[in-house]
Amino acid sequence: MNSTITRVGIVGCGTMGAGLAELCARAGLDVRVAVSSADSMTRGRDRISRSLDRAVTRGKISADDRERALGAVSFTGTLTGLADRQLVIESVPEDEKLKRDVFTALDAAIEDPDAILASNTSSFRITQLAGYTGQPWRVIGTHFFNPVQVLPLVEVVPTAQTAPHVTAGAEAFAVEVLGKQPIRSADRGGFVVNALLIPYLLGAIRMVETGHASAADIDRGMRLGCSHPLGPLELTDLIGLDVIASVAGALHAEFGDPIYAPPALLRTLVAEGRLGRKTGGGFFPNP
């Protein structure tokens, strides 16, 4: 395996993909982002640019740092455009067919046999994604958290087939290059954080649904009574109601436990397009 990773590919440039691209660019890496359309490229570039602008305004980086980071990010409309990458992180929506197509194509496109293929999935088993490739030993989960540029955690999820040096390389990259703090998880639905978090968030949504308490009081109770920085419904708005519904649905399908079943209120809000902060509001209007 390459001892030094300098060329990184990101597949997808939504909220998480753009955050990963910015994070890697600010770390001085050569970043190439694969997108599905010209519109996706424009939106992705704008996300990265606006985030860097905010970092400059807040004094986190200098104007020169911003220009260097923007200059380090390039885009491609095909997965073959990532052929020379040493590490590729998949960050596309949680759709099985889409992820299958991505990993099958990456397996054929990446030239370096020692390149790492990672997934930022929050709900799919890494073993399943590795099975779409002919080299499952080089596939690993690297689950980052939103906002990627701020939150220090990354869940590293090897499978039974992941080579030990791939796991070690992914963890070293997270720590030494990106400055993250990794935890290791078994390859099961929800990994560590979502396996604990999703039932908690769904429980708060059910409280609102049944009239047990208001959204504001639930959140106030958890902030003041448990020292949580955000209440569960504020956090749901931040993550995105559609993301919570998707992850919950995947966990419910895998384990069959009703604790993971998406409540009717959550499904209704998603159907109405009230997805949280990214759409102007969910349980609360945007601050």
Catalytic: 91? no
pLDDT by residue (tens digit) across 23-65?
Answer: 999 999 999 999 999 999 999 999 999 999 999 999 999 999 9
The three-class DSSP label of residue 87 is strand
- Indicate the pLDDT class of residue 146, thresholds 50, 70 and 90: confident
Inter-helix orientation angle 241-255/193-210, to 10°: 110
Phi, psi at residue 222, to the nearest 5°?
A: -75, -30
Catalytic: 272? no
Residues shown for the chain: 287
Cα(195)–Cα(93) distance, rounded to whole angstroms? 19
Q: What is the pLDDT of residue 253?
A: 93
Classify domain 193-279 by CATH architecture. Answer: Orthogonal Bundle (1.10)
Catalytic: 74? no
- Percent of the chain at pLDDT > 70 equals 99
Q: What is the pLDDT of residue 3?
A: 57
Greatest alpha-carbon pair distance for the chain in Å reads 56
Active-site position among 91, 119, 120, 122: 122
Cα(53)–Cα(126) distance, rounded to whole angstroms? 35
Q: What is the pLDDT of residue 1?
A: 44
Taking the domains of the chain in order of start, what are their residue ranges?
7-184, 193-279
Active-site position among 40, 119, 185, 194: 194
- Give CA separation, 275 vs 44, 84, 188, in Å: 19, 37, 26
Mean pLDDT, rounded, for 233-251: 94
Query: What pTM was estimated for this model as a whole?
Result: 0.91
Active-site position among 22, 90, 155, 171: 155
Cβ–Cβ under 8 Å, residues 84 and 74? no
Active-site position among 119, 143, 246, 252: 143
Catalytic: 185? no
pLDDT by residue (tens digit) across 63-111?
Answer: 999 999 999 999 999 999 999 999 999 999 988 999 999 999 999 999 9
Looking at CATH, the fold of the domain delimited by 7-184 is given as Rossmann fold (3.40.50)
